[in-house]
Structure 1
Amino acid sequence: MADLNLKSLFVVTVGILALSGCSSLQPTAELSEVSMLVHERTGETIVWDPTLSPPKDINTEIQSILSKTLTMKSAVRIALLNNSGLRAAYAELGIGRADLVQAGLVHNPLFEAAVKFPQGDHQLNLDLGITLELLDILFVPLKREIADSELNAKKAEVAGFVIGLIADVRDAFVSLQAAQQIENLFEQAVTATAASSASAMALYEAGNINQLTFDTERYFHEETQLARREGNIRTLEAREQLNTLLGLNQATQWTLSLRLPSPSRFEANDDIERLALDASLELTAARAKLLALGATHRIKNTTALIPVVEAGGVAERNEREWEAGPSFAVALPILDWGTARRAKSRAEIVRAQENYIGLQIKIVAVAKIAHARLEKEWHKVSFYQKTALPLQFRILDQTLQQYNAMQIGIFELLSAKRKQIAAGQAYIYALRDFWMAQHAVDEIRAGRLPSVQPFETFGSPMVSAGTVQGGH
């Protein structure tokens, strides 16, 4: 009978472990959900198996994309295929899936054995025991509920990371376009000032202009060259930033379209705050974490007074006879009544609730400011397109005519040239800032707060008309 009891206990234990360990460890379903969510909100498709290294066909696709002029969409495609941070984010899904499987398991039974050496010729006495934590078994459903909520939070966070990466790539792309366009602007300016400086030197050597006029022309040329060098550095910085997001090394060769597109229209959206709240993946993750905290609190509240309850069986052999029976162990609430654990659990829930409320307020504020900034950048672009650039062109043309007619001096002419260059530079920055503001609004609509908050400034100040060295 004792042997039968031990065998029965062993069979029950193994059965529990087998039934609780049947879940898959592969986060295939979770990755599919994230992919669908990202596609619905951005139109982009993610393709990745977090269990494998990048397969050859992915590398082939990347090389095929890089062999052509890079567009914003193709740059996003490379980032979704090749960004190491994104692969690390996908690994979070594997961690969450493993935690969910682990939550369905119970701790291994504890087996104990003791050998007693009696005096004389008596046989050895054996004590055998096996125990399981009863509370561990009883709380399996709640632990799975916690892990499932945390996995849902991870899915929202990973989807948000993908959406954020897409926005970052788009921002980096237009930043590089702007840097290249400004670099090209100063290349043209240097060519023009070099010719003007050479003409001034010839006139100076012939005695037709004085030292002041010659030095002024030369200074303007040197100033423009310095601005070009700074533009070269800005282009390098912007290129490396995009390289990093695409997961490419410095030696990788690629080109992208030079000019920033001009926006055709601005679409006002007075309901942006509600859309931001409804779409927010941060709120989705926060709600899931609150559910996990609620289930955790139920466990802590139940086990605060008696955290350990064990049951099992023992068998003892005295001489040649076996004695077997059930065993039971419980932690006595004498020194620790669990008051602190319960209080901590309640405080964690309150903290999460307040953070959730604060996040809602922040999302509304960020959405409102982002929309206002987009409208501001639209008006700035329109100003430069319709007013500033045409006026500066006419001003320079009229100034040149008056200079040739000897009605004004070199200082007025160079000032007009500086203002035209500054207006062109400011227009490029305005285009860049408009598209970055548009990307921020798109990111909010897709469910993620921009990595650069509207409370911070990513735009350029108005470029001074007295200098050709603008930017940041």
Structure 2
Amino acid sequence: MKKAVCFSAASLLLFGGCAVTTQEAAFRSVHETVKEDLVWIKTPQEAQKVDESVRALLEKPLNEENAVRIALINNRSLQQTYEEIGIAHADLVQAGLMGNPVLGYSVGQGGGMRTNTFSIELAFLDLLWIPLRRELGTIAFEEAKLRVGDEVLRTVRETSRTFVEARTAHEIAAERDEMLKSYEASAQLAIRQYTAGNLAKRELLKIQDAYAHARMEAIKAHQNAASAQEALNTVLGVYGLATYYTYGNEKWELREPPASSEPLERLAIENRLDIAAAKKRLQYAAKEAGISENTRLLDELTLEYDSEKSTGEARFNTLGVKIPLPIFDIGQGKIGMAQARYNQSHHELYALAVNVRSEVRRSHAALRYAYDIAREYRESILVLNQGILEQTGLFYNGMLEGIYELLEDQRRLSEAKIGALEATAEYRKAFADLTYAVGTQP
């Protein structure tokens, strides 16, 4: 009996004590893969440090880069995703452990005799399956890290898009306020002219109607800005006083996209972490199918040791083996299930690759058109409207144009500025989409 127990203990030390990559090391590898600064909050102290970092970043005007930094350390939905590394790590550790031996003790009495029996059972083949389980667990662990990395990059994209929308909505609301001042000036002037008998009532009503519509547009702009900022607050994971931040005013540059999407498609297949994760799932399914095929007739083998002692008799020891007979179940279901999972993983990878290529082409086309539109606004429409306003100003100073024409051209320039803001925002969002679709900046 002592030999059996010692053998079991030695086996546990040999197979259960193998080194396993720590959760911290795995998380650092995610850092290196996505090339972003990440924090995995596990303790109140770490949470406090994150809060301090967030407050420090929000004390100055918020830009897109710092918005992404805040989201990656403070977004609790993303923190939930980090825990998938911990779950996969626990599964890997468990895969390296041998099943516990089963101890038994029974007492029998009758006919003036008393019998006590001590037994121990050990799933012997568990020793052979441990390396196979560890191999599967390692593949699953690597897949979890890739999946978490992909979620990080998705969060980067979402944060960039949400920040662009919030800042743009804030700037448009400010521009609408400036336009409203112009409409208000027109309305006040019209009232004075109407009172003096120099303006028909119909013209007064038209100007007042335009002023009312301008007020409505300003209200809608502020409503949209509030909604967009709240969406950004959600992504950043902030609330309370932390939501009273301001936006930076750095100019967003326009960079011409690549002429063709074909090189980007190849880059995406090489770089996308969700594709890498799908490859790991296919590898897992293939390995699982092979294991099921090789172990279908011998999946359980139990080594037993019994020691029985009856009154007046010497102790009787028994060593035995239990093995299932493959009569009814020869593993058909296991093999079929494993093969189906392999086929499913294969089709999943193929479909994902097709979809990724399509996503790259679609994102590239969106960026190309967004770039052309934003450049047209900046280099043509804004310049033309600025020139028109300058010329109208000269005519006004020479008393060749009235105040209404000057105010109208000011409003036209404001509308052009709003169009340029919206076009630039679409360009920035399309850039974020293509960056994620390719897996790196295009």
TM-score (norm 1): 0.84
Q: Report what 2:236 is aligned to.
A: 246
Identity of aligned residues (%): 24
The AA in structure 2 aligned to 1:7 is: K
Residues matched between the structures, number: 436
Q: Report what 2:146 is aligned to.
A: 156
The AA in structure 2 aligned to 1:100 is: L
Mind listing any 5+ residue stretches in structure 2 that lack a counterpart?
none
**Deviation of the 1:61 alpha carbon:** 2.5
**CA separation in 2, counterparts of 1:447 and 1:136?**
44
Q: Report what 1:314 is aligned to.
A: 306
Q: Deviations over 1:138-157 (max 9, x none)?
A: 11111111110011111111
**CA separation in 1, counterparts of 2:369 and 2:150?**
27
Q: Report what 1:198 is aligned to.
A: 188
Residues 175 and 238 in structure 1, CA contact (< 8 A), matched pair in contact too:
yes
Q: Which moved more, 1:171-180 or 1:16-25?
A: 16-25
Q: Report what 2:107 is aligned to.
A: 115
Residue 121 of structure 2 aligns to a residue whose secondary structure is: strand
Matches within 5 A, 1:123-202: 124-202=114-192
Q: Report what 1:45 is aligned to.
A: 37
Q: Report what 2:352 is aligned to.
A: 359
Q: 1:51 to 1:31 in 2, by over 3 A?
A: farther
Q: Report what 2:200 is aligned to.
A: 210
The AA in structure 2 aligned to 1:8 is: K
Residues 260 and 431 in structure 1, CA contact (< 8 A), matched pair in contact too:
no
The AA in structure 2 aligned to 1:273 is: E
**CA separation in 2, counterparts of 1:21 and 1:325?**
28
**CA separation in 2, counterparts of 1:287 and 1:253?**
41
Q: Which moved more, 1:51-60 or 1:265-274?
A: 51-60
Residues 23 and 89 in structure 2, CA contact (< 8 A), matched pair in contact too:
yes
Q: Does structure 1 residue 296 correspond to structure 2 residue 291?
A: no
**Deviation of the 1:9 alpha carbon:** 0.7
Q: Report what 2:26 is aligned to.
A: 30
Q: Which moved more, 1:315-324 or 1:180-189?
A: 315-324
Q: 1:106 to 1:51 in 2, by over 3 A?
A: farther
**CA separation in 1, counterparts of 2:186 and 2:210?**
10
Residues 71 and 256 in structure 1, CA contact (< 8 A), matched pair in contact too:
no
**Deviation of the 1:56 alpha carbon:** 3.8
Residues 254 and 375 in structure 2, CA contact (< 8 A), matched pair in contact too:
no
Q: Report what 1:58 is aligned to.
A: 50
**CA separation in 1, counterparts of 2:278 and 2:42?**
25
**CA separation in 1, counterparts of 2:56 and 2:259?**
39
Q: Deviations over 1:240-277 (max 9, x none)?
A: 12212222114324433354624243141531111111
**Deviation of the 1:336 alpha carbon:** 2.7
**CA separation in 2, counterparts of 1:422 and 1:35?**
44
Residues 166 and 225 in structure 2, CA contact (< 8 A), matched pair in contact too:
yes
**CA separation in 2, counterparts of 1:413 and 1:34?**
58
Matches within 5 A, 1:55-454: 55-119=47-111, 121-122=112-113, 124-259=114-249, 261-268=251-258, 270=260, 271-319=263-311, 320-394=313-387, 420-446=413-439
Residue 337 of structure 1 aligns to a residue whose secondary structure is: coil
The AA in structure 1 aligned to 2:5 is: F
Q: 1:31 to 1:136 in 2, by over 3 A?
A: same
**CA separation in 2, counterparts of 1:366 and 1:408?**
53
Residues 371 and 441 in structure 1, CA contact (< 8 A), matched pair in contact too:
yes
Residues 26 and 94 in structure 1, CA contact (< 8 A), matched pair in contact too:
no
Residues 150 and 289 in structure 1, CA contact (< 8 A), matched pair in contact too:
yes
Q: Report what 1:16 is aligned to.
A: 11
**CA separation in 2, counterparts of 1:418 and 1:307?**
80
**Deviation of the 1:17 alpha carbon:** 2.1
Residues 281 and 447 in structure 1, CA contact (< 8 A), matched pair in contact too:
no
**Deviation of the 1:306 alpha carbon:** 4.3
Residues 119 and 307 in structure 2, CA contact (< 8 A), matched pair in contact too:
yes
The AA in structure 1 aligned to 2:361 is: K
TM-score (norm 2): 0.90
**CA separation in 2, counterparts of 1:108 and 1:206?**
101
- Measured on the aligned residues, the alpha-carbon RMSD in Å equals 2.9
